[in-house]
Structure 1
Amino acid sequence: MDKIHHIPNVCIEKYHKSKDYSFRISGMRSIFAAKKMETTLSKNELQLSCERLRPLFLRYALPGVGAMLFLALQSIADGLIVGRLIGATALAAVNIVIPIYTLVTAVALMIGVGTQAQIGIRMGRGDYSGAKTALISGLVGLLFFTGTTTVGVNIFADEIAVFLGADNELLPLSTKYIHGLMPWLAGIGFQLLFDYMLKALGHPRFAMTVMIGTILLNIVSSVICVSYLGMGTFGTGLGTGMSFTLGAVVSGYVIVKQLRKNTELYTVHGRFSLKTFGHLFYNGSSEGLTEISTGVTVFLFNITLMKYVGAAGVAAFTLVDYLMFIGTSVILGISNGTIPIISYNWGARCMPRVKGIVRLALAGNLVCGAVMIFLLWVCGHAAVGLFIDSAESQVIDLAVRGARFMSLAFLFNGFNILASSFFTAIDKPGLSLVVASLRGPVLLVSGILSLPRWFGVDGIWLAMPLADALTAVIVLWLVLKWKKRL
């Protein structure tokens, strides 16, 4: 018989008394097997395997939403700090070298999501040695990557900035930002990794608290370094690096304490495995691809709008992108927040709980999408007006029209994003990568390049909803194919 989820007696009693059929694992046969195994579970595992699904979903999804919204706030706040306190030239200089930062965060997300999924699946199976090996492999792999990247980027800062497009005017400001931020790459990477590990170990609310605190500290420290200490772009990078490193220290300390409380996981032997690292890196690749493709598609939106409308079109897209990013962040928070629950119960073969949590997440995403569509169609003018002076009538009109067209993506992207997270959670990285590739590099890029030829500016705005609609059709086929496995 396959190894079956090791439910303690308290959960078995709860199963017998409860009318919630999500507690059914694999019938009475599994319950008797669970009694026979008598393995001690941590508090986190008890919650994942026995807690009612709705409160469990809220306990993981809401902190995910909170963390993602504050990450969205950080990108907006950094732009405001640099643009207003230093100047437009400094903002351009920082934006030129942002791809390096995006690369590091993308790799950290790949490793973090992959590690989280592997820990959950292996703990669900009762394979604590495999869970610890995944944890150690993720830590060592990220340390090696951030260490080598830090040395290389700081040594060749000038060459990298020039390669990314910095001219003689931007080069000094770009290299200062690099030297302020890049020595802290390990801290930035580990804070992102530890955020996922804390969720895997059953502390989503604490992970959110640390992430919010890190971002608020980043904003405050950047203002101090730039406005009061006069450090310019160096201070902007320094504030970000120090804040995330402090967040990593706090998160790491708590992770060590929680590991000690989980006797099964703490005492078992684990080691670095290159094979395990490669697999968890591959399993998280869809999240990294999404991060990287976002930068590519923004670039394509900008140059296409510049061609058809000019600077007003780029400004309008920037405003629409802010609004879309807020809604997408909520959907990402819900979808990624469910990964620990899905992974653990998939590993334990608790299919009714997997199906139940997927239904709740999908309902949450669809409600969020409906709200965003309503707001952008009915309140789009007011929302755009929050970011720009009312005198910029051309930009406002473009942005309102663009927001209405692009908001239609919310009819489909909640389903697509959840599907990508689901396939990652059940250790099917190839399928997750297919979903992420379709939404970004394949269909969206194709739409941006082709649709304006037939529909003009409206074709640019329609590229995103059409890409998500076509992706949803393919994803539905993939989901139906896997439905029998649930």
Structure 2
Amino acid sequence: MQSNLDNKHLLEQGPVSSLFIKYALPSVVTMLFFGIQNLIDGIVVGNHLGSDALGGVNIILPLFSAIMVIALIVGIGSQTLVSMGLGEQNIEKAQDAMTTGFWSLVLVSLVSTGALLMFAEPLTQHLGADERLLPHALAYFKGLVPFILPITLCFYSDVMLKALGHPKFSMMIMTSVVIINVALSLYLVLGTDMGTMGASLATGIAFSIGLGMSAYLTFNVKQRLSMLKGRMRMPLLIKAVYNGSSEGVSELAAAISILIINLTVVKMLGADGVAAFTAINYINFVGILLFLGISDGLIPVLSYNFGAKNYERVKRIFRFAALVNFGIGISVFILLQGFGEYALGLFFDLSNKRVFEIALAGLHISAFVFLMNGLNILITAYFTALGEAMSSIVVAALRGVVFVLIGVALLPKFMGIEGVWITIPLAELMALGVACVLVLRINRKLLMLTKKTETQ
């Protein structure tokens, strides 16, 4: 298989559109499959088990996102170091970064699994599950937690495949995971009446199979780089955690945002409101995955060129991706305004008319978020790829926590539930203003580095 080690010409000199097709497109396809999987899970749970079960699953999603923060922090941080190492032609650094991230995730995942199983019910209640939602939330929780280790390692192995120049192999594995997940979810929820636990067990089993598939390359000591060949080095772990913390904060901020809105909606509208927001969240998530696919696919490309001191090329890749993301955002916004009710109709039957009406009103307002969030997601990934973790953290915290908290604290007092829905796009718009200022600062730094390189 061709890898980054054999792909120097394309990475450093090939057309940006070719890089986009090779690295970003497979990642987008993978993310879309994840979106389809989440959509099908939501449709199966919402229609077969009811709106309470759908709300119960949504109660646990912030916890699952918090777990994935750990995988993202270590994974993206290590991926950036591996890609920079390859760009610098420093193979030892790339190898040790890969191994360091792996063993760190093994330790953290095992400790997290034990702690979460010990405090399952009180933790679920603290996340906002009331008497109606608790049985469904707890069942989903108990089915998912035992699989934390294989799920986190599957994600880590996936980002390493991209760093090593195997985006198509990554796409093949992760789309297989999604197909297996959907098939198992249909069987365990509909065929065996396992309820929400069946949905979470399907996820855990599917990711375990995906880890086994990706191990063919990432754990193979015959490959030039392997999880098992390098040394665990604390300085590299510190660098990885610092740089990856930007992506971790992005994911954590998204989880906190969902939790904040869940708690606000349940106070205002009860379980029906949570079910409505869950459906909105599923639909929004599919759109967001397009942006995440582009950004995640380009992080190793940007890091490689930054390590190779191709600073002008880094800026060209960013500008190209920004135009693509903005075009996608406009398209998704138009589709949701015109056909949003048909998407929501997949989640609820006629007996849930009140929930449907709440969700439709919320979707038409929250859809404005797609005019901004594609650029915000790309900008945070851009900062991460260049090792500018603090700038990425600032944008992620503003859009996912600070502005959301301010919005739900103030707007519902004057606008009711519409104030909650308006908070979502408004937070993105305000964060984008800050992000653009930070991008200008980073690009000035790249210009100075370019001049310095030219004079050497």
TM-score (normalised: structure 2): 0.86
Alpha-carbon distance change, 413 to 84 in structure 1, aligned in 2, over 3 angstroms: closer
Q: Which runs of 5+ in 2 are unaligned?
A: 447-456
1:225 paired residue number: 188
TM-superposed CA distance for 1:123, in Å, is 1.3
The CA deviation string for residues 98-122 of structure 1, in whole angstroms up to 9 with x for no partner, is 4443332221122111111111112
Alignment of 1:147-158 (within 5 A): 147-158=110-121
1:455 paired residue number: 415
The CA deviation string for residues 427-486 of structure 1, in whole angstroms up to 9 with x for no partner, is 111111011011111112211221222333333222122211211111111111121233
Q: Secondary structure at the match of 2:7?
A: helix
Question: Is the CA contact 1:64–1:334 (under 8 Å) kept in the aligned structure 2?
Answer: yes
2:453 paired residue number: none
Question: Is the CA contact 2:46–2:348 (under 8 Å) kept in the aligned structure 1?
Answer: no
TM-superposed CA distance for 1:243, in Å, is 1.3
Alpha-carbon distance change, 472 to 280 in structure 1, aligned in 2, over 3 angstroms: same
Alignment of 1:175-214 (within 5 A): 177-214=140-177
Alpha-carbon distance change, 46 to 222 in structure 1, aligned in 2, over 3 angstroms: same
Residue 365 of structure 2 is aligned with which of 405, 410, 422? 405
Residue 116 of structure 1 is aligned with which of 67, 70, 79? 79
1:300 aligns with 2:260: yes
Task: Output the CA distance in 2 between the equivalents of 1:403 and 1:168.
Answer: 27
Q: Give % identity.
A: 36
1:129 aligns with 2:92: yes
Task: Output the CA distance in 2 between the equivalents of 1:64 and 1:423.
Answer: 19
Question: Is the CA contact 1:293–1:440 (under 8 Å) kept in the aligned structure 2?
Answer: yes
Alpha-carbon distance change, 177 to 46 in structure 1, aligned in 2, over 3 angstroms: same
Task: Output the CA distance in 1 between the equivalents of 2:21 and 2:184.
Answer: 32
1:422 paired residue number: 382
1:138 paired residue number: 101
1:52 aligns with 2:10: no
The CA deviation string for residues 130-150 of structure 1, in whole angstroms up to 9 with x for no partner, is 111110110010011112222
2:26 paired residue number: 63
Residue 335 of structure 1 is aligned with which of 291, 295, 301? 295
AA partner of residue 319 (structure 1): A
Q: Secondary structure at the match of 1:193?
A: helix
AA partner of residue 118 (structure 1): L
Task: Output the CA distance in 1 between the equivalents of 2:126 and 2:227.
Answer: 49
Residue 281 of structure 2 is aligned with which of 321, 332, 349? 321
1:8 paired residue number: none
Alpha-carbon distance change, 306 to 237 in structure 1, aligned in 2, over 3 angstroms: closer
AA partner of residue 426 (structure 1): L
Question: Is the CA contact 2:77–2:240 (under 8 Å) kept in the aligned structure 1?
Answer: yes
Query: What is the Cα-based RMSD across aligned positions, in Å?
Result: 3.1
TM-superposed CA distance for 1:426, in Å, is 0.6
Q: Secondary structure at the match of 2:171?
A: helix
Question: Is the CA contact 2:43–2:347 (under 8 Å) kept in the aligned structure 1?
Answer: no
Task: Output the CA distance in 1 between the equivalents of 2:111 and 2:32.
Answer: 31
Alpha-carbon distance change, 410 to 85 in structure 1, aligned in 2, over 3 angstroms: closer
The CA deviation string for residues 304-356 of structure 1, in whole angstroms up to 9 with x for no partner, is 34555566654443333333222211111112211011000001011222122
TM-superposed CA distance for 1:230, in Å, is 5.0
Question: Is the CA contact 1:129–1:269 (under 8 Å) kept in the aligned structure 2?
Answer: no
The number of residues matched between the two structures is 444
Alpha-carbon distance change, 351 to 307 in structure 1, aligned in 2, over 3 angstroms: same
Structure number, greater radius of gyration = 1
Task: Output the CA distance in 1 between the equivalents of 2:354 and 2:59.
Answer: 27
Task: Output the CA distance in 1 between the equivalents of 2:228 and 2:190.
Answer: 50
Q: Which runs of 5+ in 1 are unaligned?
A: 1-39
Alpha-carbon distance change, 135 to 226 in structure 1, aligned in 2, over 3 angstroms: same
Task: Output the CA distance in 2 between the equivalents of 1:312 and 1:163.
Answer: 19
Task: Output the CA distance in 1 between the equivalents of 2:19 and 2:298.
Answer: 9
AA partner of residue 254 (structure 1): L
AA partner of residue 444 (structure 1): V
TM-superposed CA distance for 1:379, in Å, is 3.2
Alpha-carbon distance change, 470 to 94 in structure 1, aligned in 2, over 3 angstroms: closer
Question: Is the CA contact 2:302–2:317 (under 8 Å) kept in the aligned structure 1?
Answer: yes
1:255 aligns with 2:218: yes
Question: Is the CA contact 1:226–1:233 (under 8 Å) kept in the aligned structure 2?
Answer: yes
Alpha-carbon distance change, 130 to 456 in structure 1, aligned in 2, over 3 angstroms: same
TM-score (normalised: structure 1): 0.82
Task: Output the CA distance in 1 between the equivalents of 2:351 and 2:46.
Answer: 20
Alignment of 1:318-397 (within 5 A): 318-389=278-349, 395-396=355-356
1:43 paired residue number: 6
Q: Secondary structure at the match of 1:451?
A: helix
Task: Output the CA distance in 2 between the equivalents of 1:86 and 1:381.
Answer: 21
TM-superposed CA distance for 1:376, in Å, is 2.5
Task: Output the CA distance in 2 between the equivalents of 1:221 and 1:269.
Answer: 35
Question: Is the CA contact 1:128–1:268 (under 8 Å) kept in the aligned structure 2?
Answer: no
Residue 283 of structure 1 is aligned with which of 231, 238, 243? 243
AA partner of residue 55 (structure 1): S
Alpha-carbon distance change, 260 to 43 in structure 1, aligned in 2, over 3 angstroms: farther
2:449 paired residue number: none
Alpha-carbon distance change, 86 to 393 in structure 1, aligned in 2, over 3 angstroms: closer
2:205 paired residue number: 242
TM-superposed CA distance for 1:73, in Å, is 2.8
Q: Secondary structure at the match of 1:271?
A: coil
Question: Is the CA contact 2:4–2:163 (under 8 Å) kept in the aligned structure 1?
Answer: no
